[in-house]
Structures are given as structure tokens and as C-alpha cells.
Amino acid sequence: MCDSLTTLHHEIIACRRCPRLVAWREETAAKKVRRFLAEPYWGKPLPGFGAHHARLVVVGLAPAAHGGNRTGRMFTGDASADWLMAAMHESGFANQPQSLSRTDGLVLNDAYITAAVRCAPPQNKPTGQEAEACAGYLAEELNCLQPRVILVLGRFAFGSVRKYLKGLGVDVHPLLFSHGAHFELAAPYPGRLTLLASYHPSQQNTQTGKLTRPMFAEVFHMARMSLGAVQAE
């Protein structure tokens, strides 16, 4: 992990750039929901988390109102987290199949989880302006980690990563979102970069069957195979 990543995490946590998101995350943390009334809520922006020298970076949309916004960690304490950790554990990227709290013992192996937007947005729909306000945070994390594989969850996050790559001079015209999309790119740093895409493991996708567990497991298998190829070079 480069020296600036810890400083960046503190900067993200203190961010108040987007008035709508600040109001929503704090209101949600104050009102809570019945099943979590006894729990303290984080109610602040979320930095990424994971291995200090991760070769895989997973990019989601934003914290969930009663998931990450409550627990203080990306993809923790909600149904999407259950799906993500089950797949990451099965593919060897996590030491356990659950992500319940910041003190649950979860350790990511060669992987780092972050998001396009760092505050829980109303109806899980950040605006383009809010995504732009967070774009620098994602860029700094990716520049610092210099991953070999980026796995993007959902169309919104895919667009954010596409803009990041375009800003670094990568030809993004062939980069179109679809589940299972696989792109081999010349990395903006030494080596090569694999970009993978998946539907987001939201309940809207998992409960309707748009995203199944085998489909989700396959993209992590692709990530594992890509990293194996990199290691063999």
C-alpha cells in the first residue's frame, strides 16, 4: 500500500462535499430502522478496505443506507455483502463468507473493495455530479494500488471506472458494460490490466434471478484466472 492511502482514507471520512448525501446519510443514521435501533450507525463516508498490496480491486456503487452506512465498512451488514463475500471466499479472496461488522475478523486476500460513491445515496441513486465529486477518491485509490484486475459491480460503477481509465489515456471506446465482460488493457502503469464486469449483487438483481450465484462465482473465477496468468508472466 502506498504511503498516501491512509491519509486518503481520513480525507474521505471527513468529506462533506455533497449536501444532499450528507443530509441523507446523517438522517438515516439518526432515525435508523427498527431492526437496528440498538446499534450505533457510522453515518459518514466510507473509504475502501482490504489487502495493502491487492492485485484485485472490486468497485461497487455506494454504501447501503443500513449496510455500510451503519457498519462503517463497504459491503458489510446487508444482503449484497452476503453475496459478495460468499463469492470472494469461494474464490480464495476472503478468509470467511460473511461480512457483518468491522470487528468480525474478515480479511481480504490479495483484494481491495471500494466504490464509485462514498456516501449512502437516497434510493441507491447518486447523481452524476455526486459521482464526479467522488471520482478523485477512486482515482487515488487505483493509482496507489495499481491493481492487475478491476472487477466492477454494476453499470454505474463501470462508468466511473471507464472515466478513470479515459483520463489516463486508455482507449475506452471498446469498453461497454455487460455481465461477464472481459477486457485486456494496456495498464496506465507498468504491466497489464484486466477489466471485468458483473451485475451488482443487489436484491433487485439477485431476487429476480438476473444475477445467480453461479454467474457471480464465474466472474471471480475469471479474476482468479487472470491473476494466475499475471503471476505466470
> pLDDT tens, 207-229?
999 999 999 999 999 999 999 86
At 103, the pLDDT band (50, 70, 90 cuts) reads very high
Mean of pLDDT values over 162-185: 95
Report how far apart, in Å, the C-alpha atoms of 120 and of each of 28, 38, 91 are.
Answer: 9, 20, 28
Tell me whether strands 56-60 and 111-115 are parallel, antiparallel or unpaired: parallel
pLDDT over 50 (residue 91) = yes
The Cα 91–Cα 105 span in angstroms is: 18
Q: How many CB atoms lie within 10 A of CB 97?
A: 14
> pLDDT tens, 16-29?
999 999 999 999 99
Going across the sheet that includes 56-60, the strands are 49-50, 111-115, 56-60, 149-153, 192-198, 182-186
Give me the chain's average pLDDT, please. Answer: 95
Q: What is the pTM of this model?
A: 0.95
> pLDDT tens, 40-82?
999 999 999 999 899 999 999 999 999 999 999 999 999 999 9
Q: Which residue's entry shows cell 434510493?
A: 123
pLDDT at 190: 81
For a pLDDT cut of 70, what percent of the chain falls above it?
A: 97
pLDDT over 90 (residue 192) = no
Mean of pLDDT values over 165-171: 92
Report how far apart, in Å, the C-alpha atoms of 216 and of each of 23, 100, 154 are.
Answer: 34, 20, 12
At 231, the pLDDT band (50, 70, 90 cuts) reads low
Report the chain's C-alpha Rg in angstroms. 17
Q: How far is CA 75 from the centre of its chain?
A: 8
At 189, the pLDDT band (50, 70, 90 cuts) reads confident
pLDDT over 80 (residue 188) = no
Domains, the chain, in order of start with CATH, read 4-232 (3.40.470.10)
pLDDT over 80 (residue 230) = no
Mean of pLDDT values over 181-201: 92
At 233, the pLDDT band (50, 70, 90 cuts) reads very low
DSSP letter (8 states) at residue 38: T
